[in-house]
Amino acid sequence: MIGRLLAAEGMVILSTPLPACMMIGDMRILVLGGTRFVGRVFVEEALAQGHQVTTFNRGQTGHDVPGVEAVRGDRENRSDLPSLVQGREWDWVVDTSGYVPQIVGNAARLLSGRASAYVFLSTISVYPGWPAEQVNEDSDVYDCPPDAPGTAEDEANWSAAQYGAYKAGCERAVQEAFEGTVTVLRPGVILGPQENVGRLTWWLRRIAQGGRVLAPSQPTKSIQPVDIRDLSAFTLRCLQHRTTGVFNVTAPQGHATFGSMLDACRKVTGSQAEFTWVDDSFLVEHDVRQWTEIPLWRTPEGTWAVDSTKATAVGLTCRAIADTVRDTHTWLKESGGPSAYDRQSHHGLLREREDELLKIWDRRYSRDIVP
């Protein structure tokens, strides 16, 4: 109980790690979700470390990872939850699919007494000040009640504010309902193999086509996406070391640049693409949709200024962006890419639109350099 209350205040508790003999193969983990991207990669990492994993999901958005105990059910259907806990207990719960506070609270309340620790995967979108300003774990979050009702069916179409507010309400729901230690992780942009949103995957496919590629802003612009495998490893580390609290989970500031990401895309695809770096002001003037029409491009100063030093201090490590790009490309080639997901259609610049913007940019640049 003390751990739960301190976690709600954003504090960190570091106690003695689990004995080495219990850190491999002895932990029973319940994953709420577990069939796509974040949940799936976490399950794969947990199984690779020898843990026993149960997943609870509807079985509609992906395939089960071989080796799990798969329990079918809908967390929004209260009659499905009792069947999940009947005759089962776990050491840890990892919630990768919580969006509606009331629904999340119901599950956390039911799982109290069935597990000792709960990790909730939230988002930096809980900060209303982001991306306009820099944020850390003490920054204000949306004021959303922990019992806010609704359904996650339309989550892919929520506004950023609604998504962030509901995630903040979910955090409160877990902290108030779960009688055990709670860790809240607030990732920023997550990239890597299994990505189903369409950010890095779009850049890889576009650059593989070659030709002139419209690149936004400046190649030296700092970015700080986190690799899904590093997020998964950090999640397990928090559980194994009984680390509780609230953590932003991003790569450190200065870890990578937009230019280094695109250069890595060009290298792994073997493309001869030529990057034309176009000013932010030009793109804004021509109503290019930030974050989606050009994936990962955004002008507010706080976009890539998320403070994740707390997570780094307790063990978060981040691989090079080139490794993330390489492994994502390999996965794309071998698998053909992710299953369909509503957000994929929101990302990417149409080739006709890109060509037109480059023509306008060329005309403007030519005028600017005439003596």
In-domain check, residue 239: yes
Q: Are residues 184 and 268 in the same domain?
A: no
Same-domain status, 108 and 47: yes
In a shared domain, residues 345 and 233: no
Q: What distances in angstroms separate CA 205 from CA 36, 77, 141, 342, 352, one per listed residue?
A: 21, 39, 36, 18, 16
Is the separation of the CB atoms in 200 and 227 below 8 Å?
A: no
Residue 312 Cα distances to 41, 56, 231, 358, angstroms: 21, 30, 11, 40
In a domain, 258, yes or no: yes
Does residue 76 fall inside a structural domain? yes
Instruction: Let me know whether 152 and 208 are in one domain.
Output: no
19 and 139 in a single domain? The answer is yes
Domain count across the chain = 2
Q: Are residues 164 and 217 in the same domain?
A: no
Domain that holds residue 358: 200-222+254-304+320-366
- Residues 290, 203: Cα–Cα separation, whole Å: 15
Domain assignment present for 315: no
* Measured distance CA(268)–CA(272) in Å, rounded: 11
Over residues 4-15, the pLDDT tens digits come to 333 333 433 333
Last residue of a domain, one of 233, 249, 265: 249
Burial 263-300 (b: 16+ CB within 10 A, else e): bbbbebbebebebebbebeebeeeebebbbbbbbbbee
Q: Are residues 140 and 208 in the same domain?
A: no
pTM of the full structure: 0.90
Kind plus residue range of the DSSP H or E element containing 195 = none
| Helix orientation angle between 200-208 and 258-269, rounded to the nearest 10 degrees | 50
- Render pLDDT for 253-307 as a digit per residue (tens, 0 to 9): 999 999 999 999 999 999 999 999 999 999 999 999 999 999 999 999 999 999 9
**Residue 112 included in any domain:** yes
Let me know if residue 314 belongs to a domain.
no
Strands (E), the chain: 28-32, 52-57, 69-72, 92-95, 117-121, 181-187, 190-191, 212-216, 222-223, 226-227, 245-249, 256-257, 274-278, 290-291, 294-295
In terms of domains, do 233 and 214 share one? no
CA angle 118, 233, 130 (to 5 degrees): 75
- CATH code: domain of residue 33: 3.40.50.720
Do 204 and 296 belong to one domain?
A: yes
**Which residues on neighbouring strands pair with residue 227, listed in sequence order?**
191
**Would you say residue 10 lies in a domain?**
yes
pLDDT tens for the 371 residues of the chain, in order: 333 333 333 433 333 344 443 444 589 999 999 998 999 999 999 999 999 999 999 988 888 999 999 999 998 887 898 889 989 999 999 999 999 999 999 999 999 999 999 999 999 999 999 999 999 999 999 999 999 998 877 776 788 899 999 999 999 999 999 999 999 999 999 999 999 889 999 999 999 999 999 999 999 999 999 999 999 999 999 999 999 999 999 999 999 999 999 999 999 999 999 999 999 999 999 999 999 999 999 999 999 999 999 999 999 999 999 999 999 999 999 988 776 555 656 789 999 999 999 999 999 876 554 43
**In-domain check, residue 36:** yes
Instruction: Tell me: do 237 and 300 sit in the same domain.
Output: no
In this structure, are 151 and 276 located in the same domain? no
Alpha helices in 26-159 (DSSP H): 37-48, 80-85, 101-111
Same domain, residue pair 51 and 161: yes
Taking each continuous run of H as one helix and of E as one strand, the counts in the chain are: 12, 15
